[in-house]
Structure 1
Amino acid sequence: MDVVGVLAIHILFLPTLVLYLYLRKHKSKSQQKNKLPPGSMGWPYIGETLQFYSQDPNVFFAAKQKRYGEIFKTHILGCPCVMLASPEAARFVLVTRAQLFKPTYPESKEQMIGPCALFFHQGDYHTRLRRLVQSSLAPEAIRKLVPDIEAIAVSTLESWSGGDLVNTFRGMKKFSFHVGVLAVFGSLDAYYKQQLEKNYSILDQGYNSFSTNIPGTPYRKAILARKRLNQILSEIIYHKKEKLVEKDLLGCLMNSKDEKGNILTDDQIADNIIGVLFAAQDTTASVLTWILKYLHDNPKLRKAVKAEHKAILLESNDGGNRSLTWAQTRNMHLTYRVILESLRMASIISFTFREAVADVEYKGYLIPKGWKVMPLFRNIHHNPEFFPDTQNFDPSRFEVAPIPNTFMPFGNGIHACPGNELAKLEMLILIHHLVTKFRWEVEGSQSGIQYGPFPVPQHGLPARFWKQPRSLRQRPGCA
């Protein structure tokens, strides 16, 4: 073949070669762009659910992170999931790209609480409800509740003080429920309080049970209790409409109108009240139970916390003869750090569920539409890169603010807990009266953790409580 022929072949072949190389490069980029995160999907349908439930969930997540890194896939509870264990990833899902990830809960859970509860929604409805709830539970609104919360705290602790064995977690649930009722309704007839507590307790017992409607099962009982709660709330709403409504959460919900002048229906109000009570009870009770354990296990820290509160009694509170004030709760600096460290260590909300509403790319990985996405708060809270000596209970670490997005005990973004200020206030008040007026002893060696679904000390931290004589409470330096 002559030179001209060879040249002609090269000229003809060159575009084909360029096209081939372009397509190959484009295909390679496309494949890389659509690559799923590393991880294991387990068995067909059941995935890795058995592994997840057969061990401490935190061990499951930690082992996955160690093997695959800070983003990995799995398949649990019948759903393909992407787990995210870095502050950047959590912020991506919950804040910067929150519109691409909707809150998601099992249908049975939505039915229990009510489909109109704000944390099941996005968009305008969620924004409206969140604004109402947040304004009712903001510091300016709850500061007036200090005397009433204090009365509930004292009554709760005195009911335990005979030295009988108390399931601390159950007792704290009762306390936090009563505070939740106070925040939602303000003053409420004793009959309605009793009926709310009775039926909510049945609902609570069936919330995490197997969802079968067979008569007599916890789930069926919970569904019936939920219907009765709707009837009770309808009666309360009816009576509230007949008189000037107080500025509590119920009043805010009842008086709210959207831009078209529409008010919320009774069902919408009921669902959001149940949602707030649900969010307010177990999480706060879990943290308080852990605080009691941490203080019990750290005598030196317990003594320092007592000293802080005795100073309030002696210097500002006439030896305990006057009620606490809002300003005094703002000066409980060590106690506040104890609360923050308890929230970090226990990480009551270990993770949260979201669902991708579209295909999303994150750091070169594909999160497919419809997959569940779980930011792992506990993994972040226990990362030694952000919290050195992570298994050591050390409130002093919060003398300096944590790195942004590394501490998210109440979530983050538009779906963060709107009642976090109320939760911290009731913790401060109960701790004040606990350490200044009572002593307690944990029964047995309680080193284990149980999940239901929130982590609490084994068996609910059985303990005995005694009220200290007044003279002993006021004696300086007495721990």
Structure 2
Amino acid sequence: MATYINLAISPFATLLVALITFLIFFTLEKKRKTQHSDQVKRTPPGETGLPWIGETMEWHRAQVKNRIFEDFIRPRVQKHGTRFKTRLMGSPTVIVNGAEANRFFLSNEFKLVVSSWPTSSVQLMGKNSIMEKIGEQHRSIRGILTPSLGTGGLEPLVPKICEVVKTHFIKYWCDQQGEKIIPLYRSAKFLTFTIMCECLLETKAEEGIFECFEKVLEGVFSPPLNLPGTSFWRAKRARAEIERVLVNVVRKKREEMELQDDTNSSNQVGATSLLSRLVGALIRGEITEVEVVDNVVLLIFAAHDTTSFAIAMTFKMLAQHPDSYSLMLQEHMDVQRNRSTKDGDNLTMEDLKRMKYTWQVVRETIRLSPPIFGSFRRAIEDIEFEGFTITKGWKVLWTAYGTHYNEEYFANPERFDPQRFEEGMTIPPYVYVPFGGGPRICAGYHLAKLNILIFVHFVVTTFNWSLLHPDEPVVMDPLPFPSLGMPMKVSAKDVV
């Protein structure tokens, strides 16, 4: 019996020893090859941390506090330089800082890199939206969207947007008893959502659908686990409800346009809305219904969340810098006095162009507090950049903070100074990048500017206001927002 056991175990033990030896040899050889490859390719310096996890936990801790640049990036820049490698969420990642890095990676979209979003973001925003399109498909959809979102397409909408803003203030801000506390961030969110729906999509803004968008946002960067009770599961259910509503809107608009028997109606006066252009392209067979819905979802998110944060931060800066507020208020009072009576209480595009100092304030605000920290790209081939090789498949992260807070570009970068953006002041390309750059530069830039200027005008000319917490901290989950919602005390100066 003992002999039998020895004979049975011996081959197994031999095999086990051989397997362990092979694994050790394989691991050491792989490490040697990796080190040799890194030496040959000269990858950027840095530390990738633990397998798969890498430095994700350190990143997450900094992100929650809205201190990614201060607590994660800056210490590594000081240690490794402006280009360094790390590992985030399972991917080897190179983080780059500086105008030249921004220019190189943003302008080489589709050539050397492509946009890279988490799986959860793609599923919730829509895999058929412009954020997932590359090359000619991206250019085609952008060509459909741009005319409605440029100054020419938006100018006829200015009076309508003014009416939406005034109606919002009458309903939510005015109080016959005098003072009222307004949650500024949420109020600006719902207002910009309403403008998007009623002025560009020709549909009523429902608070229930707004809440669905809020639920979707909560799951955009969560693990894609579609299990009951998870953030992603709740977000998917909310996304399905949004899609149901938007499909009905799109089909109703298509019926109206087809009844007119004119697929070029989007070029006629009164038919230049974003929805009209998208449905017109659908009728002509340029895009599908799914693409229309996915792009509408993406644009609503992009428009209402980032714009509302910029508005909240603008009022925070004005509350902290009363001299700037006095100058800005004077500008708006001048615009109000010189406004043509034929336009009633509404603004025109010419009025908005006169708000030069206000736009300086806003630009300086979003330099200090960009609504988007930066974005990830994925290398589609080995990239040679400044003596380093970024391996195909690796992620690249460019950041707005890398230039916005750099003394090379902005003296005393942490100081609020709207004069940086006076007419005649030259800022080098790819230094000021709150709206990105290259082929993927934000298509809604002009809409955001218009919404912010109109919002600010009617607040400062209609209300006395003060923030309850002028030093309110900003946190992230998943995008930056004022931690207390930016409560504002308001009282009407006059009848709106």
TM-score by length of 1: 0.86
Name the SS of the counterpart of 2:181 in structure 1. strand
CA distance in 1, matches of 2:482, 2:44: 34
CA contact (8 A) 1:161 1:464 kept: no
Name the SS of the counterpart of 2:406 in structure 1. coil
CA distance in 2, matches of 1:127, 1:63: 38
> Does 1:431 pair with 2:438?
no
CA distance in 2, matches of 1:32, 1:41: 16
1:76 shift after superposition: 1.4
CA contact (8 A) 2:130 2:138 kept: yes
Among residues 379, 383, 387, which one is paired with 1:364 in the alignment?
Answer: 387
CA contact (8 A) 1:213 1:220 kept: yes
List per-residue Cα deviations over 1:2-21 (Å, max 9, x = no partner): xxxxxxxxxxxxxxxxxxxx
Letter of the 2:458 counterpart: H
> Does 1:142 pair with 2:149?
no
Name the SS of the counterpart of 2:411 in structure 1. coil
List per-residue Cα deviations over 1:410-457 (Å, max 9, x = no partner): 000001110100000010101111111112221135342211233233
Among residues 356, 368, 371, which one is paired with 1:333 in the alignment?
Answer: 356
CA distance in 2, matches of 1:223, 1:408: 31
Alignment of 1:65-214 (within 5 A): 65-96=77-108, 98-158=110-170, 159-162=172-175, 163-185=179-201, 187-188=202-203, 190=204, 193-194=206-207, 196-214=209-227
Name the SS of the counterpart of 1:460 in structure 2. coil
CA distance in 2, matches of 1:31, 1:44: 17
> Does 1:417 pair with 2:436?
no
> Does 1:381 pair with 2:404?
yes
C-alpha change, 1:297 and 1:46, in structure 2 (3 Å) is: same
Q: Which runs of 5+ in 2 are unaligned?
A: 1-35, 258-264, 266-270
CA contact (8 A) 1:337 1:395 kept: yes
CA distance in 2, matches of 1:393, 1:412: 24
Name the SS of the counterpart of 2:111 in structure 1. helix
Moved more, 305-314 or 236-245: 236-245
Among residues 231, 246, 262, which one is paired with 2:285 in the alignment?
Answer: 262
Q: Which runs of 5+ in 1 are unaligned?
A: 1-28, 474-479
Among residues 272, 285, 288, which one is paired with 2:311 in the alignment?
Answer: 288
CA contact (8 A) 2:217 2:235 kept: yes
CA contact (8 A) 2:282 2:288 kept: no
CA distance in 2, matches of 1:211, 1:466: 45
CA distance in 2, matches of 1:115, 1:166: 36
C-alpha change, 1:363 and 1:54, in structure 2 (3 Å) is: same
Name the SS of the counterpart of 1:436 in structure 2. helix
CA distance in 1, matches of 2:116, 2:345: 46
Letter of the 2:478 counterpart: P
CA distance in 2, matches of 1:44, 1:208: 21
Letter of the 2:51 counterpart: P
1:20 corresponds to which residue? none
Among residues 299, 309, 314, which one is paired with 2:322 in the alignment?
Answer: 299
Name the SS of the counterpart of 1:441 in structure 2. strand
List per-residue Cα deviations over 1:244-271 (Å, max 9, x = no partner): 363211211222279xx63322111100
List per-residue Cα deviations over 1:337-356 (Å, max 9, x = no partner): 11111110102211111000
1:326 shift after superposition: 0.9
1:241 corresponds to which residue? 254
1:167 shift after superposition: 2.4
Tell me how large the CA RMSD over aligned residues is.
2.3
TM-score by length of 2: 0.83
Identical-pair percentage: 28
CA distance in 2, matches of 1:362, 1:177: 41
CA distance in 2, matches of 1:416, 1:348: 14
Letter of the 1:333 counterpart: K
Alignment of 1:223-238 (within 5 A): 223-238=236-251
> Does 1:458 pair with 2:483?
yes
Letter of the 1:54 counterpart: R
List per-residue Cα deviations over 1:29-61 (Å, max 9, x = no partner): 997661010111122221111111223212111
CA contact (8 A) 1:254 1:263 kept: no
CA distance in 2, matches of 1:366, 1:118: 29
CA distance in 2, matches of 1:280, 1:157: 20
C-alpha change, 1:437 and 1:243, in structure 2 (3 Å) is: same
C-alpha change, 1:90 and 1:257, in structure 2 (3 Å) is: same
1:10 corresponds to which residue? none
Moved more, 437-446 or 280-289: 437-446
CA distance in 2, matches of 1:155, 1:205: 29
CA contact (8 A) 2:160 2:199 kept: no
Letter of the 2:169 counterpart: L
1:26 corresponds to which residue? none
List per-residue Cα deviations over 1:343-374 (Å, max 9, x = no partner): 10102211111000111110110101111101
C-alpha change, 1:279 and 1:31, in structure 2 (3 Å) is: closer
Among residues 311, 320, 323, which one is paired with 2:334 in the alignment?
Answer: 311
C-alpha change, 1:411 and 1:299, in structure 2 (3 Å) is: same
1:3 corresponds to which residue? none
